[in-house]
Structure formats: C-alpha cells, structure tokens
C-alpha cells in the first residue's frame, strides 16, 4: 500500500524545480543552459560560439541570420564539423525559421544573430526553447535589457584569448 501524503508534502513536491541541464562550455563554468535563451555580445562572440560548437560535437546546431555574415569555411578550419551545423539566411522570416526549427526538435542548439528584437518575438522563442529543451543563443553587438535571456555574456577578444564576463544570470 502506498503512503498517503499530507497537503503540505504535496505542496513541497509541486514547488520542487526540475534540475536544469547545461551544455558544457570551458569558457563559462556553469555551462550554457538548455531550455532557455543565452545572449552573447561583444567582439569575440563568433570565436566563443566556435569554441562552444567544437566542445559539443554531438549536438546539431542551426545558425540563422537575416543576411549572411559568418564565413562557414572559417568555422570548419577551426574544428567545427560541417555535418554539425546548418546555416540559414532568413531575411524577414527569421521568427518563422527559429520557431519551426525549435518545434521540430532537430537541433539542440539554435543560434541567431539579430540586433532588433522585440519582446513578443523573444517571448515566442523563449517558450519554444523551453518546450524543445534546446540551447538558444542570441548574438548581438551590444547587451540588451530584455528579461527573456537567462544568461547574458559579454565576450572580449584579448589577442588570441577570450575573456568571457557574465553580465546577468537568472535562475532557470
């Protein structure tokens, strides 16, 4: 016979959060959280993402931009596998591409480069990211003040070395 739980014990069980999973990242001690948006800014953001992709070769990634700016052969020369990453130029259909990629759950990492984001777009991406348990990484040149990012990183290049500073970390 199963033990009967009191109302207080049930409340404690309902409040207990699920443990969050993280992608390992040597540049960030806690890792990159799955199921939430991470914002990456600064001068070394592409190099940082190259390190992240190289360290997580078993994860497939989608890299979405409005207009093509990243040079894929440079990433491949730095050790990122061509089979690991799909590049998409989305122009005005960025939201559609990101949401459908997350819904498909074909990618455990979705990277998008967009300067102008509104809160409705970010909220939709956040909800789809939570449901897919993916690592969504928003790349921008300057830190933004949106509540949707659970981790905000600023990456600076110091010669050949990267300096990663955590600007904001929200409990996820």
- CATH number for the domain that contains residue 133: 3.40.50.300
**What stretches in the chain show pLDDT beneath 70?**
1-2, 13-19, 171-172
- Answer whether residue 10 is part of any domain: no
- DSSP assignment of 72-119 equals HHHHHHTT--TTTEEEEE-GGGHHHHHHHHHHHT--SEEEEE-S---H
pLDDT in tens, 154-166: 999 888 788 988 8
- Answer whether residue 156 is part of any domain: yes
- Answer whether residue 9 is part of any domain: no
- Answer whether residue 97 is part of any domain: yes
- In 3D space, the residue among 43, 6, 2, 14 whose CA is nearest the CA of residue 139 turns out to be 43
- Answer whether residue 4 is part of any domain: no
pLDDT of residue 32: 93
Question: Left (φ > 0), alpha (ψ -120 to 50) or beta: where does 42 sit?
Answer: left
Alpha carbon separation from 134 to 3, 71, 82, 128 (Å, rounded): 37, 24, 20, 9
- Answer whether residue 20 is part of any domain: no
- In 3D space, the residue among 26, 70, 75, 89 whose CA is nearest the CA of residue 52 turns out to be 26
Residues facing 36 on adjacent strands: 135
Overall number of domains in the chain: 1
The rounded distance, in Å, linking the Cα atoms of 149 and 152 is: 6
pLDDT in tens, 124-144: 999 999 999 999 999 998 888
Q: Is pTM, for the whole model, over 0.95?
A: no
Enter the tokens of residue 84.
């690991």
- Answer whether residue 79 is part of any domain: yes
Residue 104: give the domain boundaries: 36-169
pLDDT of residue 4: 80
- Answer whether residue 125 is part of any domain: yes
pLDDT of residue 47: 92
């Amino acid at each position: 016979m199963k033990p009967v739980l009191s109302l207080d014990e049930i409340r404690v069980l309902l409040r207990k959060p699920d443990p969050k999973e993280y992608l390992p990242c040597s540049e960030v001690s806690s890792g990159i959280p799955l199921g939430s948006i991470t914002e990456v800014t600064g001068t070394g953001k592409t190099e940082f993402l190259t390190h992240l992709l190289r360290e997580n070769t078993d994860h497939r990634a989608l890299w979405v931009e409005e207009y093509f700016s990243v040079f894929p052969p440079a990433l491949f020369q730095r050790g990122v596998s061509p089979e690991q990453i799909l590049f998409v130029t989305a122009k005005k259909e960025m939201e559609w591409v990101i949401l459908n990629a997350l819904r498909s759950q074909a990618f455990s990492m979705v990277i998008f480069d967009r300067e102008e984001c509104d809160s409705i777009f970010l909220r939709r991406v956040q909800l789809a990211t939570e449901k897919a348990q993916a690592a969504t990484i928003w790349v921008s040149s300057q830190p933004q003040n949106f509540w949707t990012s659970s981790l905000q990183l600023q990456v600076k290049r110091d010669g050949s070395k990267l300096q990663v500073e955590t600007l904001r970390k929200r409990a996820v």
